[in-house]
Amino acid sequence: MKHRILAIRYFLGSCALSLALGLVSFAQQAAPPQGQPPAQTPPKEYPTARIEGLVKEWTRARDYTKEYLDAMPEDGYAFRPTPDIRSFAEQMLHLSAAHFQFATRVFGTTNPYQGKNPEKMDELKSKAACTKFVMEGYDYVLSGLKGMSEAKLDERMAVQGYNRPKVQLLGAAFEHQTHHRGQTTIYLRLKGVTPPAEKLF
């Protein structure tokens, strides 16, 4: 009887040990190797069509600039780090005025602000009015892009002594807005505001 009890205990212990080892093995197989992140879903494919890609990038730039506009308090719109440079509002108005200038050349449309200098228009320098104008500028570019064919990106036009493809002019416009938005990072810092996190993608 004693031997039978010992045998049963041995058998149950073996079963428990086997089960425990099996669970550990399963957990190790299910978990990623140490130091590696868990498995992720495959990334989305980036658009191969140039128009699609440009729309995506200009939309990202618009949303990023909006974060800057939102971050600056109302009293910061008139702020200028030194007397001889643009105020925050003027930087943003200049950024967006260029959108209209570049876009009308590329898309063959009429600039709704032709003959005006938005950065000198006092009625555009409040937070609400400036934000509205800047978003209008981005949307003007996006609207033109969405109505443009791929072939038209390679059409050429005379710009500063060179016969340039339209896609290059759009690239210059994109660089211009990046440059002026970047300058306003210092304006935010000087007003005690933490600038929005970088939004490269």
Q: DSSP states of 85-153 as a string?
A: S--HHHHHHHHHHHHHHHHHHHH----TTTT--GGG-GGG-SHHHHHHHHHHHHHHHHHHHHT--TGGG
Burial class of residue 104 in the structure, from the number of CB atoms within 10 Å of its CB (0-12 exposed, 13-18 middle, 19+ buried): middle
The pTM of the full predicted model, rounded to 2 decimals, is 0.77
Region 57-190: CATH code: 1.20.120.450
Per-residue pLDDT of the chain (201 residues; tens, 9 = 90+): 544 444 444 443 444 434 443 433 444 444 455 666 666 788 878 777 899 999 999 999 999 999 999 999 999 999 999 999 999 999 999 999 999 999 999 999 999 999 999 999 999 999 999 999 999 999 999 999 999 999 999 999 988 888 899 999 999 999 999 999 999 999 999 999 999 999 888
Please report the pLDDT score of residue 61 as a whole number.
98
pLDDT in the model for residue 161: 84
Q: Where are the domains of the chain?
A: 57-190
